[in-house]
Chains A and B, each alone.
Chain A
Amino acid sequence: MFNSFSQAQSTMVNEAVEAPVEVKRHASIHREQTDTVGEITVANPRMTCRNVDVFYSGSQAIYNVSLDIGKNEVVSMIGPSGCGKSTFLRCLNRMNDTIDGCMVTGAIKIDGQDIYKKSMDVVPLRAQVGMVFQKPNPFPKSLYENVAYGPRIHGIADNKEHLDHIVETSLKRAGLWEEAKDRMDQPGTGLSGGQQQRLCIARAIAVEPEVILMDEPCSALDPIATARIEELIDELRENYTIAIVTHSMQQAARVSQRTAYFHLGKLIEVGETEQIFSQPKHKLTEDYITGRFG
């Protein structure tokens, strides 16, 4: 380990990891070398992460995380603040590249391609793996420009009509079309928080990504707006693979099919959402979801 602090953390987690029973029964034959409880693999993965470590200027933020994200599946990542779930999420489209001193080791593959290999360009990667952020962050431009920006820079649209079509379908898919169609030239920043977030989702899906990463997309929204986003996530699942980080366990329970519980940079437990929230196998997961710490 790298310093005494992380060592202390890791031993603590290791002790806790020894606690659960019946690990073998749930483990698959292809099980990787990991301390995670539950099934990290899925039958048809879109993204596979193996033994991912993340370091920030020497200190380790993520420890040996392996996780698959299946096609047309919503994976939610929960855990107390600072557990590394957002960091892990940002590894999936290399958003961490912008942070100085950030180093990622291990393998993260999308459709079998390693996204961290030298020949991988982040620009097409980010078109492939879109992202929605915690705070709604529309560009201070018109609604149309917001959605059209991605297709435009990637040269997706053949002509103006095509671009209009992309904007329209994206907004429709994001459930914003009815509200937005009469005010396309108004600034995106003038919308309500929930509408802004749906605009951001429309912007993300306008470039036809395969995976959408959502980093606490509802944490700045009221319950009704949250419900609309959740409904939207459920609809989007048909066409996209979604990984969502959330602080709300109820939200994770509602929108996701699989849930991963992170703790101090480690992936403690992964499993079917129903199982995680009714009968978690790991003591830390149990304590977290029942509100006993965190």
Chain B
Amino acid sequence: MNSSVNNRHKAQERVRDGLKVRYRAERRFQFYGKLAIGLGLLFLSMLFFSILSKGLPAFQQTYMELEVTFERQYVDPKGDGSEESLAAGDYGGLVKQTLRNRFSDVKNRREKRALYSIVSTGAAFQLRDMVMSNPELVGNTVRVWVPADDELDMLLKGHTTELERHAGSGIASLVSGDGEIKLLSTSNDFTNILQDLKRMLAKSARQSERKLKRLRDNLADAEKSLLQLEEGILKAQSKQPQNAARIRVLEEKLADAKVSIDSYKEKAAQEEMIFSDLQQRADTPGGVERLNSEMPSYLVFVNGGLVKLTSVSNTQATGRALTQLESMHEAQAGEWEILEFETPQTARRLKDNALAWAWDLKQKGQIEKRFNTTFFTAGDSREPELAGIWGAAVGSLYTLVVTLLLSFPIGVAAAVYLEEYAPKNRWTDLIEVNINNLAAVPSIVFGLLGLAVFINFFGLPRSAPLVGGLVLTLMTLPTIIIASRAALKSVPPSIREAALGVGASRIQMMTHHVLPLALPGMLTGTIIGMAQALGETAPLLMIGMVAFIVDIPGGFTDPAAVLPVQIYLWADSPERAFVERTSAAIMVLLSFLIMMNILAVFLRKKFERRW
């Protein structure tokens, strides 16, 4: 008795001793769990942040206003106003003409080409559509908003270069001459630019210094080898006078060395001059310095026009007018400003003149960002500003319709048969194992199967939603069958017994009781399978759904793309504007997936019945 009390006491002590360790282990476990969830959430939020920040701007598109005069010579080449004639019009030329009219000071060919590129090629189609729908426009002048080119769009969204604006603090007077404009400020407005320039010069000077040092090292090495050669010749002559051939070789080398020494010396001298010049320019404050295209671009906005600076000193700058100035009057402090585009001209596709045109349009309110309806209504395009996801969305819809129509009935029927009717033998076991394995087969294999069977054997069209749907059906069937079987299994046997007990036949038991109870689970499985199918790319690549398709598919056999493939295609495109469209398309796809999942949850909640 006593010993048992002792034992109990001891046991309780042991338990108490162990408690701390146990609780610590539990806390540790909880911590790990929270950490894992936290990390997951962090990555998820990073993903969403990245996609949202990249993709949201794509819902806005830059449009510019053009004052278009529908001149008959462009619009109506035959001059009869017939539809045929109108359709054949040179609308591209019209756009170009309009632009030339707008920026009348653009003269040379290169500049003109640059000017034409700020408007989307879609503008011509838009004008054409306008005329086609309203032939009375011919000969009239209308203000039209047309999409800007994607590069301009990117510029205005701040992706191309950063813009810093410095308001002029002095009174600027302008002097023009030699096609150049000289700006004189009463204050040190250009000092900053000059200082930047000096910094650049200092940097160049350091580079030049290093180069000079290298040249000098090379020179020293060359001189050393010259000495050695000379010694070698002397030695050779004293020891082996008969070896003339060797001496000749050495002498040739000597001559080469002398030549290279000379050239090094010359180069060093040049470099030294460059270096000292740079050094001097960098060190002495003030003075006049020229700007080059390796540096940020400086544009001065004065009197309604833009002057691109080519050289600056502290208080004055020289430049070329990119857009016409309204006058050459003096500009008061604050009425003019310096625009600094940090990315050098050579590092961007839009040159300074395009920047100037854009600025000009913007100042006049002829450029603005609007909601990007094109993105939701258009098919794919090579031009980002004309590209949309509607074609891919419709393709996805057709594909999913085919998938749903095939996989849901087949999947449910297969599940019902396997679960309720199939005898349990080796064959059904084999089938079951194979269905489970099918769910784990890489999806690209289904694509190969689709290619081999549906396209090559049955001769169905390539890139068609029909084939895509068939392939995705193969892929989603195992998911649906497994989910449906699980749902059927989860229906309690008591319900089946109850139905059978009152004399229901097997099929009545299924349709009246088991299926309604299993339906939420089946629907959930189906929707998850559909979501999987919606996000699938690999098998569709194999059946040619990766093609570039501009048209919105009109049926199940039309060539089509699907959303994920569209994303894949855009992600592959080099244009800057496709990056944000890729993200935007991902957002659309994700929202579809989320909606489908919400639908699944909703259906489950709605139809779920307790028993």
Contact = CB atoms under 8 A, between A and B. Distances in A.
Query: Touch between A and B in complex, CB under 8 Å?
Result: yes
Interface of A: 93, 95, 98, 100, 123-127, 130-133, 135, 137-140, 149-150, 153-154, 187, 189, 200, 203-204, 206-207
Contacts of B424: 100
A204 B508 CA distance: 17
Contact of A130 (B501, B504, B512): B501
B611 A140 contact: yes
Contacts, number: 71
B494 A135 contact: yes
Nearest to B506: A98
Contacts of B494: 133, 135, 137
23 contacts: A95-B501, A98-B496, A100-B424, A123-B504, A126-B502, A127-B502, A130-B502, A130-B503, A131-B497, A131-B501, A132-B501, A133-B497, A137-B492, A138-B498, A139-B499, A139-B513, A150-B502, A153-B503, A153-B508, A153-B512, A200-B498, A204-B501, A207-B502
Nearest to B495: A137
Contacts of B503: 123-127, 130, 150, 153-154, 207
Interface in B590-611: 609-611
A274 to B, nearest CB: 31
B609 to A, nearest CB: 4
Contacts of A123: 503-505
A204 B503 CA distance: 9
Q: Chain B's interface: helix, strand, loop or mixed, by majority?
A: helix
Interface of B: 423-424, 492, 494-505, 508, 512-513, 517, 609-611
Contacts of B610: 140, 189
A149 B505 contact: no
Counting from the closest, the 6 A-B pairs by CB-CB distance are A137-B494, A150-B502, A127-B503, A131-B501, A126-B503, A140-B609
A187 B517 CA distance: 14
Nearest to A127: B503
A95 B502 contact: no
A93 B502 CA distance: 10
Contact of B502 (A100, A135, A140, A149): A149
A126 B498 contact: no
Contacts of B609: 140, 187, 189
Among B496, B503, B513, residue most surrounded by chain A Cβ atoms (within 10 Å):
B503
Nearest to B504: A153
Among B424, B496, B501, B508, residue most surrounded by chain A Cβ atoms (within 10 Å):
B501
Contacts of A127: 502-503
Given A127-B502, A203-B502, A95 B611 contact: no
A188 to B, nearest CB: 9
B512 A95 contact: no
B500 to A, nearest CB: 7
A267 B166 CA distance: 107
A135 B497 CA distance: 11
A134 B497 CA distance: 11
Nearest to A97: B500
Contact of A140 (B500, B504, B508, B517): B517
A95 B609 CA distance: 26
B502 A204 contact: yes
A250 B512 CA distance: 38
B170 to A, nearest CB: 86
Contact of B498 (A139, A153, A154): A139
A86 to B, nearest CB: 12
Contacts of A207: 502-503
B611 A189 contact: yes
A77 B492 CA distance: 26
Given A93-B501, A100-B424, 8 more contacts: A133-B498, A133-B501, A140-B609, A140-B611, A149-B504, A153-B504, A203-B498, A203-B502
B498 A137 contact: yes
Given A133-B494, A139-B513, A140-B610, A98 B500 contact: yes
Nearest to A90: B497
A131 B500 CA distance: 9
Nearest to B611: A140
A126 B495 contact: no
A98 B499 CA distance: 12
A126 B500 contact: yes
Nearest to B502: A150
A206 B502 CA distance: 9
Nearest to A147: B502
A189 B498 CA distance: 13
Contacts of A137: 492, 494-495, 497-498, 611
A100 B423 contact: yes
A189 B608 CA distance: 13
B523 to A, nearest CB: 17
Contacts of A189: 609-611
A192 to B, nearest CB: 15
B496 A126 contact: no
B427 to A, nearest CB: 14
A127 B494 CA distance: 18
B512 A149 contact: yes
